[in-house]
Amino acid sequence: MPLVGLVVVAATIAGGISLYRFVVNFPGPGETLTLGIAITSLVAVGFTVKVRVRIRAGHHLIAWTETAIMIGLAVAPASLVVLSTGCGLAIATVLTRMTPIKAVFGTAKNMLVAGAAGLALHLAGWTEQSDDRSFVGPLALAYFIAVVLDELITIPVIALATGTGRRELFRADWDLRFGAAIARFVVIAGTVAILRNDNDNRLLLAVPALVFSLHLFHSNRVNARTEQQAWQRLARTTDALNVVDLDKVLTTAVTRATELFSADEVEIELRETGRLVRGSTTVSYDGPPGGIPSTVHGAVIVAPLEGHDQTADIGVLRLRFRGPVKLSERERYTLRTFASALCTAVRNAQAYAELARAAEQHAYAAAHDALTGLANRRQLLDQGNLQLSHRHADGVTALLLIDLNHFKEVNDTLGHAAGDRVLTQVAERLRHAAQPDDLVARLGGDEFAVLLRGLSAPAMAAHRAETLLGALHEPLDLDGMRISIEASGGIAVAPSAGGMAELLRRADVAMYQAKRTGQRTATYAPTRDSADLGRLTLGGDLPRAVADHEFTVNFQPIVDLGTGEVVSAEALARWHHPVHGTIDPLRFLDAVERSGLLPAFAEAVLDQALIAAGSWREAGFDLPVAVNVSPRSLLDPRFPGSVLARLRAHDLPPDRLHLELTETLTLSQLEVVDRVLGRLRDEGIRLALDDFGTGYSSLSLLSRIPVHELKIDRTFVTTMESSAEAAAVIRSTLDLGRSLNLVVVAEGVESEPQRRALWELGCTSGQGHLFGRPMPTGQLLATLRRGTGGRPGALAPALHDTGAVIRLAPGRRPNGRGRGDRLPHLPA
């Protein structure tokens, strides 16, 4: 409306100026009246004979008005032509019953065009006496200005009224418009030439017949082009519907139908799914019918979505217009064709979606357990192999294999239906206890597996396993009954070589090891793997090795982290095999335990350790010696008597012997273990819990076993600088040690930054390659005598000078120690 108003104001000014000039230069009533009537008639006819174009709900007319205007300007003053144009258009708009706003706009626009063209002729030096060769140039310039001004005024108004882009309207059929403009100019120039030669203006009455003939020719070209473009758009639209995604089909249909039928809004309603999609250039609503009403009110043209055979009516297509619209025969046929193509596209997309859903269900069923919904063995193997192929980039990978103990009794007592509910509840608990990156699977029966991915260190697998098995600790609710479920778990860390099948086999070995020993979890160790043929071969050599004293003991010093002084040494057994050389205890200890030679082996190692401690004492280094104890030894009630006898034989006080127990301590006969450990402690022998933090029973063992010392496993120390989890385990262990007044020793200290970090956290003792590797007793004695920095018995420089004031972290204090141990030299 503001743009139309601006045009009307400008036309009013142009009309006023023209009226003023006409009155001032009035030539006389005779010829002026004839010219005025002729030009008025010519403009009225030119406006009436036009091409009708529909855009959305509006009909827009392409008339020959500028042709009449230019002919009039060639034979009459511009002021008369402007006034005659206004009169002619006023008469034509009344006769054609045009709406007031269109009538006013059309009249004002053409008066401006007449005024601008007349001004251009005047500035170009136009005179009625110009020769035939000189009048064409000014006339062409004036016509060009008239055409350009008509486009610049008309197209923005149509674009704003219809919501169509101005560039789109400028580009639409430009070739036809250009050709029509050339043809009109030829008519204009020819008519002017005839009039100038005959000097008879009455020939202007013959111009409408010529204009009408050209109009018919141009209309046919416009209609042919419109038909061609309509079929091309229909072909492109049906091709665009040839997709298998239903959302894309509906979106394409809505946006393309808006363009194809020049509609203000398009709706597609599907009956089967109860879905309505509405929009124009974009989708504005997608939901159930009746959700949000349309904002376009006016004509609605409805087409059913049915196939060519009219047997499948799946919905309805609605074209909405803001005003009254009547589709042509060609548009009605296009609508039927489009609706049929859309029906086919929707049915194809629905069929494809159903096939995709079926394929997805089959793929899901092939990779998941039908009862619990967990991953099955196939998915576990596939994802495990994929994970192992990227093991270096994704951290440590481990597998926890879980087997429910005595599950058969549930099935036999309560029935298989109850057993299935138990399995479902176990699966749900494992799923909730697992980390987001873990893969929980059911392998069949009562066997489950959890693939642990992205671990910061191998030792973290045991902690994650404890969390998962702890989720099964609470009784299950089954039809009002409380049923306790026990489970055994086997942990295996991904091997450096081998795929998921090998990892699963190792976890299975560890799981059955846990069942045999009565533990809740066990970690895979090659020494316990019955598939290790080399270990089986070594088992046959054990009797000879014990008889020939092939087992020797090396000693690794344990130092005070603050002063660097040695406070004790750990005895580590080695087998010097005549053929295989030195053999690590991990390869032969399990065979020793099962061979029946464990008592003889233990006495041999204990004798060598006590002899070494006696030699160090005689040399002035009164150091306790730590000896690892097999869990099977603790099941022997005679074990404490044997240890005490060896101490008396070597004349050493009991507190000079530390017995290190592993967290994989056998608990199946805990009463026997309690009696054995209680007697050892009562006699003054100090007990240490080795590899603390790697087993599930850390805290429960501390509540049952009277230990004096905790040893932090080396895997936590190695990764403490890069793993927040490992650092948290160390910090928690130190806090626990302080609370229980226990000594805490860190294993695997290999660098000064690790030593200082541990000391600052409150750890007072450590062992590792930083201070010394395992060595024979004579070499260790020589090392003690040599010392460091002129200090015998010290293997590292002190962290602080004697007498220095040390600010300790809040809550940090030295661990409690028994008699005979050395406290770090901390100043008061």
Residue 198 has pLDDT above 70, yes or no: no
Domain shared by 518 and 561, yes or no: no
Would you say residue 542 lies in a domain?
no
What rounded mean pLDDT belongs to the chain? 79
Is 74 domain-assigned?
yes
DSSP for 397-445 reads EEEEEEEEETHHHHHHHH-HHHHHHHHHHHHHHHHHHS-TT-EEEEEET
Per-residue pLDDT tens digits for 385-394: 888 877 555 6
Q: In which residue are the tokens 């001032």 written?
A: 24
Q: What's the pLDDT tens digit per position in 139-160?
A: 888 888 888 887 788 777 777 7
Residue 340 main-chain phi, psi, to 5 deg:
-65, -45
pLDDT per residue as tens digits for the range 759-790: 989 899 999 999 999 999 999 999 999 998 88
In this predicted structure, the answer to whether residue 128 has a pLDDT above a threshold of 60 is no
474: CATH? 3.30.70.270
Q: Is residue 112 part of a domain?
A: yes
pLDDT at 127: 65
Which pLDDT score, from 0 to 100, does residue 225 have?
59
Cβ contact 712:789 at 8 Å: no
| Same domain flag for 558 and 481 | no
Residues 353 and 381 in one domain: no
- Give the pLDDT score at 823: 36
Residue 58 has a pLDDT of: 43
Mean per-residue pLDDT, 24-46 = 71
Residues 266 and 176 in one domain: no
**pLDDT at residue number 557:** 96
Tell which wins on pLDDT, 438 or 80.
438
Does a structural domain hold residue 366? no
Residue 796 lies in a domain: no
Enclosing domain of residue 742: 554-574+593-786
Higher pLDDT, 522 or 828: 522
What pLDDT is recorded for position 632?
75
Say if residue 602 is in the same domain as residue 715: yes
Residue 306 · residue 335 · CB < 8 Å:
no
pLDDT in tens, 738-751: 888 899 999 999 99
- Domain assignment present for residue 612? The answer is yes
Indicate whether 102 pLDDT > 70.
Answer: yes
The per-residue pLDDT for 139 is: 81
Quick one: pLDDT at residue 433?
Answer: 92
Whether residue 616 is predicted with pLDDT greater than 60 in this model: the reply is yes
For residue 745, CA distances in Å to 238, 561, 606, 689, 764 come to: 78, 10, 21, 10, 7
pLDDT digits (tens, 9 = 90+) for 308-362: 666 667 888 888 887 787 777 777 888 888 888 888 888 888 888 888 888 888 8
Element (H, E) at 568: strand 566-577
3-state helix, strand, coil in the chain (%, to 5): 55, 20, 30
The total number of structural domains in the chain stands at: 4
**CATH number of the structural domain spanning residue 275:** 3.30.450.40
Same domain membership, residue 254 and residue 118: no
One domain, residues 172 and 266? no
The verdict on 148 and 18 lying in the same domain is yes
The residue-averaged pLDDT of 109-116 equals: 83
For the segment 498-525, the average pLDDT, to the nearest whole number, is 84
DSSP assignment of 40-95 equals: HHHHHHHHHSEEEEEETTEEEEEE-HHHHHHHHHHHS-HHHHHHHHHHHHHHHHHH
By the 10 Å C-beta count (0-12 exposed, 13-18 middle, 19+ buried), 94 is classed as exposed
Within a domain: residue 671? yes
Tell me if 250 sits within 8 A of 277, measured CB to CB.
yes
Q: In what order do the strands lie in the sheet with 396-405?
A: 439-444, 447-455, 396-405, 486-493, 521-523
Domain co-membership, 382 together with 470: yes
Q: Give the pair of three-digit tokens for residue 253.
A: 């249909």
**pLDDT tens digits for range 265-318:** 889 999 888 889 998 888 889 888 888 888 888 888 888 888 666 666 788 888
Highest-confidence segment of 212-216, 515-519, 686-690: 686-690
- Residue scoring higher pLDDT (511 or 395): 511
pLDDT in tens, 702-754: 766 778 999 998 888 988 888 888 888 899 889 988 888 899 999 999 999 99
Choose between 469 and 226: higher pLDDT. Answer: 469
Judge if 640 and 778 occupy the same domain: yes
Half-sphere exposure of 378 (CA within 13 A, CB side): 7
The model's confidence at residue 655, banded by pLDDT at 50, 70 and 90, is: very high
Specify the higher pLDDT residue, 30 or 815.
30
165 vs 807: which has the higher pLDDT: 165
Strand-pair category, 686-692 with 657-662: parallel
The per-residue pLDDT for 814 is: 47
In this predicted structure, what is the pLDDT of residue 57? 40
